[in-house]
A = this chain, B = another copy of it.
Amino acid sequence: MPTSTDFHVFDTTLRDGAQREGVSYSVADKLAVARLLDEIGVGFIEGGWPGALPKDTEFFARARTELKLRHAQLVAFGSTRKAGVRVEDDPQVRALLDAETPVVCLVAKSDVRHVREALRTTLEENLAMVRDTVAFLVGHGRRVFVDCEHFFDGYAADPDHGVEVLRTAFAAGAEVGVLCDTNGGMLPMGVGRVVADVRARVEGKLGIHCQDDTGCAVANSLAAVEAGVTHVQGTANGYGERAGNADTFSLIGNLVTKMDLPVVPAECLPELQRVSHAIAELANIAPDDHQPFVGASAFAHKAGLHASAIKVSPELYNHLDPAVVGNDMRILVTEMAGRASVELKGRELGVDLDGHADVIGRVVDRVKVLEADGWSFEAADASFELLLRAELPDAPPPLFELESYRTSVEHWGNGDVVSEATVKVHVDGERIISTGEGNGPVNALDNALRQALVSRYPQLADVSLADYKVRILGWKGGSGATTRVLIDSTDGVGEWTTVGVHDNIVEASWHALVDALTYAVRNR
């Protein structure tokens, strides 16, 4: 059985994954992503293409002093030398040496049509480019892996050239030959057959790199492992061009928990969920709640019909104990759920509802009415908890009574843009008028309200907004749409999410804001 050293988990989030539409990392982001990937125990982190992209050149320069990796080796990506050029004269190859990484991953053409139509050279020269570049880098002490671009499409068109590229690379000293489904059109059965075929014809360690154009990138990679490859490439959260790449987290989750291959150190597995979300944050992409293993909903149950059985035997309803990958099970409060779900959710929140059948009934009714208006508590546990506690016999009164508010944005003649808000509230019988400024109408309201409440509730000084999400529901041509706002708040220790819904985005935000501050006072 391969261990985490002889089985390669090779992550290319920072190189191939950066091709995803909308992704643009700063050098600091790239360093942070590399540190996070190291925490899940991958063996190799491909950091970018020095020489081709200035940001990547800078990344490798800073990595030498700033990046201390515990598990992974850093990899520089580049191309074989240009056709008709001596390898030592190719500046792109020199840039690979200058990156000073222990490992270099070279991309080589392995589809005859790409050699002829994109490279515009001969098959012989293509092999010479592979041979020269691998030998040159190995001669300079580098471990060299070779990505055989378009390998599977090329194999269908002419299997011999791809095999020749692999043999040439191994003969020149390459350590791994990676079969790439660059256009992503393969299915697992086909991948398994080609890998078995190639293994019978070539001596050397093989790898796999899959794109997700058929929705099978993870399965294709696993089929290749079953057929004998021992090097698997993926990207965090499957980020990548078009439909993306094989998701590193799903690959690791499946290899370790379903195929019994300990490809990362055991203590790294519970980091998957945290690292997935942290990288999404750095990539500035909303995490996919439905992502296998690590998504916020990956172990969430909404079926009211099952809720009573789940209470008894959760393991019958999960393919895996969520804690293994650092995730947890959640019960969702929705119209499909009944009283059992509310009870279970209450227990999850630490609210004992035994003997409060009337409370449960009122909460179920209230959630139904609000959901019909567009509210959703599935992502807003804090708002749900406030709603639940408000129905309990000893429910406290609201923090304050609102008299009115007013918020504005002005774009002045000199180009300045300014926001200001005034709230009039009653706190413990006292009428307070407070004005705040901000970088937007909601931020100004937040500042005005907080200022009105902070002398009575000093703990609000530590609370800040961590994220603000807006969703337009049922837009009907410019008016009549409903806006749902979710606010994530933090006090530096924990985070909580609140929701507000209204036709007016500012009023929707106000609801979420009031819940956020109320939760901070009552429950933190």
Q: Which among A295, A371, A378 has the greatest number of chain B C-beta atoms within 10 A? A: A295
The answer to whether the Cβ of A11 comes within 8 Å of any Cβ in the partner chain is no
Complex-state Cα separation, A297 to B470, whole angstroms: 23
Across the interface, do A188 and B223 meet the contact criterion of CB distance under 8 Å? yes
Q: Considering only CB atoms, which chain B residue lies closest to A371 in the complex?
A: B24
Complex contacts, A212 vs chain B, CB 8 Å: 290, 292
Complex-state Cα separation, A301 to B184, whole angstroms: 13
Across the interface, do B185 and A215 meet the contact criterion of CB distance under 8 Å? no
10 contacts between A and B (CB under 8 A): A150-B316, A187-B258, A213-B292, A215-B250, A219-B220, A241-B301, A243-B298, A464-B477, A465-B478, A468-B475
A349-386 Cβ-contact flags toward B at 8 Å (1 or 0): 00000000000000000000001000010110000000
Q: Considering only CB atoms, which chain B residue lies closest to A503 in the complex?
A: B439
Complex-state Cα separation, A113 to B312, whole angstroms: 12
- Residue in contact with A409 in the complex, picked from B19, B441, B443, CB distance below 8 Å: B441
Apart from the given pairs A212-B292, A440-B503, 6 other A-B contacts in the complex at a CB distance below 8 Å: A24-B371, A189-B226, A215-B292, A243-B291, A243-B292, A468-B481
Across the interface, do A188 and B188 meet the contact criterion of CB distance under 8 Å? yes
Nearest CB on B from A408, distance (A):
4
The answer to whether the Cβ of A1 comes within 8 Å of any Cβ in the partner chain is no
Nearest CB on B from A268, distance (A):
19
Docked complex: A393-408 residues within 8 A CB-CB of B:
402-408
Across the interface, do B188 and A376 meet the contact criterion of CB distance under 8 Å? no
The answer to whether the Cβ of A522 comes within 8 Å of any Cβ in the partner chain is no
The answer to whether the Cβ of A198 comes within 8 Å of any Cβ in the partner chain is no
Q: Considering only CB atoms, which chain B residue lies closest to A19 in the complex?
A: B302
Across the interface, do B440 and A259 meet the contact criterion of CB distance under 8 Å? no
Among the listed stretches A98-106, A135-143, A172-180, A328-336, which one makes contact with chain B, having 4 or more residues with CB under 8 Å of it?
A328-336
Complex-state Cα separation, A371 to B24, whole angstroms: 9
Across the interface, do B506 and A409 meet the contact criterion of CB distance under 8 Å? yes
Across the interface, do B504 and A187 meet the contact criterion of CB distance under 8 Å? no
Docked complex: A321-339 residues within 8 A CB-CB of B:
332, 334-336
* The 9 residue pairs across chains A and B that have the minimum distance between CB atoms: A185-B319, A219-B219, A408-B408, A215-B250, A470-B470, A409-B506, A118-B309, A183-B319, A215-B218
Across the interface, do B465 and A378 meet the contact criterion of CB distance under 8 Å? no
Nearest CB on B from A294, distance (A):
10
Q: How many copies does the complex hold?
A: 2
Q: Considering only CB atoms, which chain B residue lies closest to A313 in the complex?
A: B117
Complex-state Cα separation, A316 to B112, whole angstroms: 11
Docked complex: A424-480 residues within 8 A CB-CB of B:
438-443, 446, 464-470, 472-475, 477-480
Across the interface, do A439 and B480 meet the contact criterion of CB distance under 8 Å? yes
Across the interface, do B464 and A478 meet the contact criterion of CB distance under 8 Å? yes
- Residue in contact with A300 in the complex, picked from B242, B293, B481, CB distance below 8 Å: B242
Q: By the criterion of a CB under 8 Å from any partner CB, how many residues of chain A are at the interface?
A: 120
The answer to whether the Cβ of A42 comes within 8 Å of any Cβ in the partner chain is no
Instruction: Using A244-B290, A406-B409 as known contacts, say yes or no to A300 and B21 having CB atoms under 8 A apart.
Output: yes
Q: Considering only CB atoms, which chain B residue lies closest to A439 in the complex?
A: B503
Complex contacts, A473 vs chain B, CB 8 Å: 284
Complex contacts, A247 vs chain B, CB 8 Å: 215
- Residue in contact with A419 in the complex, picked from B334, B465, B504, CB distance below 8 Å: B504
A250-265 Cβ-contact flags toward B at 8 Å (1 or 0): 1001100011000000
Nearest CB on B from A186, distance (A):
8
- Residue in contact with A22 in the complex, picked from B305, B312, B378, CB distance below 8 Å: B378
Complex-state Cα separation, A237 to B506, whole angstroms: 32
Q: Considering only CB atoms, which chain B residue lies closest to A406 in the complex?
A: B410
Complex contacts, A413 vs chain B, CB 8 Å: 403-404
- Residue in contact with A241 in the complex, picked from B117, B302, B439, CB distance below 8 Å: B302
Complex-state Cα separation, A411 to B509, whole angstroms: 12
Complex-state Cα separation, A410 to B408, whole angstroms: 9
Complex contacts, A417 vs chain B, CB 8 Å: 502-504, 506-507
- Residue in contact with A216 in the complex, picked from B218, B244, B306, CB distance below 8 Å: B218
Nearest CB on B from A356, distance (A):
26
Across the interface, do A219 and B215 meet the contact criterion of CB distance under 8 Å? yes
Nearest CB on B from A497, distance (A):
14
Nearest CB on B from A213, distance (A):
5
Complex-state Cα separation, A220 to B220, whole angstroms: 11
Q: Considering only CB atoms, which chain B residue lies closest to A479 in the complex?
A: B439
A492-524 Cβ-contact flags toward B at 8 Å (1 or 0): 000000000011111100100000000000000
- Residue in contact with A472 in the complex, picked from B334, B376, B469, CB distance below 8 Å: B469
Across the interface, do A19 and B298 meet the contact criterion of CB distance under 8 Å? no
- Residue in contact with A504 in the complex, picked from B117, B299, B439, CB distance below 8 Å: B439
The answer to whether the Cβ of A303 comes within 8 Å of any Cβ in the partner chain is yes
Complex contacts, A408 vs chain B, CB 8 Å: 406-409
